[in-house]
Amino acid sequence: MKYALVTGGSRGIGKAIALKMASLGYRVLINYKSNLSEAQHTLEAIRHAGGDGELLPFDVSDKVKIQEILGGWIEANPEKEIEVLVNNAGIRNDSLLAWMEEDQWTDVINTNLDSFFYVTRLVLHGMITRKYGRIINVVSLSGIKGLAGQTNYSAAKAGVIGATKALAQEVARQGITVNALAPGFIKTDMTEGLDEKELKALIPARRFGLPEEVAHAAVFFASKDSAYITGQVLSINGGLYT
Ligand code: NDP
């Protein structure tokens, strides 16, 4: 049984990716932090489309829970292979650096960057043994360009971009690819408070992107045919930054 694990699969971009992974024939492990009803909606939508999956709640910023819950699942289910890992769960907590609280820094770094290390390390062992895997990290325009008010978030996402490129070189021989998706402004709960009218004037496509448009790029990296594409960062930003 082949699985795709999508962290933060209950809402937004992760939900759209979870649905696309199911359409590729994967059973989807839907991770989320606390929003059970949204996670159930994702699973229902997958089942409605003829796929299947499981809910696997854990806080990606908590290394003990990752080991306990994800590590426990892997150990208890040796016949279930996680072939695709999408490190998508993320938060932002913006502030100018001069006024940033220590918690704002550590929460954003733990959730967006440290999670990559703890989750990927666990899943990678099986991929190495089976000599196949697709790791897709959801980063951000903010990690490429840097955005004022987001030193914590830009640092975390830039960190994941560096890790993507390094890990890609470590595991290329084992049939594992590691790539990153860098969305610009995408219509989700995360961007709800932003002034869309003002911001879209800056975007050449003159609109925010849709979660499904990011998921489309995730399918590209997840494909077996993308075996020779690794260590790449693909921007999905309507031309905002090239
Ligand atoms: P949303 O806020 O819409 O959804 C966040 C998802 O992540 C939810 O499923 C949430 O679970 C989960 N999550 C948050 N924190 C944790 C945690 N500690 N442990 C486990 N799951 C967690 O975000 P988006 O869909 O907009 O963002 C998805 C990714 O895309 C993020 O990495 C974000 O940084 C990145 N991104 C988004 C952009 C955008 O414009 N929207 C632009 C660039 C990058 P729950 O439902 O339980 O809260």
| Positions in the chain short of pLDDT 70 | none
DSSP string, 34-50: S-HHHHHHHHHHHHHTT
Instruction: Confirm if 142 and 86 have CB atoms less than 8 A apart.
Output: no
Q: Report the b/e string of 216-237 with b at 16+ CB within 10 A.
A: ebbbebbeeeeeeebbebbbbb
Q: How far apart are the first and last CA of the chain?
A: 39
From the CA of 165, how far away is ligand 1's center (Å)?
22
Around Cβ 140, how many Cβ atoms within 10 Å? 28
Identify the structural domains of the chain with CATH numbers, from first to last.
2-236 (3.40.50.720)
> Could you give the C-alpha distances from 88 to 18, 29, 48, 209, in angstroms and in order?
10, 13, 23, 16
Q: Which residues share a beta bridge with 6?
A: 30, 86
Q: What integer pLDDT is reported at residue 92 of this predicted model?
A: 98
Could you tell me how far CA 100 lies from the centroid of its own chain? 25
User: Tens digits of per-residue pLDDT, 161-216?
Assistant: 999 999 999 999 999 999 999 999 999 999 999 999 999 999 999 999 999 999 99
Per-chain mean pLDDT for the chain: 98
Q: What integer pLDDT is reported at residue 120 of this predicted model?
A: 99
Q: Residues with Cβ within 6 A of ligand 1? A: 7-8, 10-14, 31-35, 38, 59-61, 88-91, 111, 138, 140, 183, 185-186, 188-191
User: Tens digits of per-residue pLDDT, 203-224?
Assistant: 999 999 999 999 999 999 999 9
From the CA of 214, how far away is ligand 1's center (Å)?
13
Would you state the structure tokens that stand for residue 235, as one six-digit string?
């921007």
C-alpha span between 152 and 236 (Å, rounded): 21
C-alpha span between 94 and 150 (Å, rounded): 5
Q: What integer pLDDT is reported at residue 146 of this predicted model?
A: 98
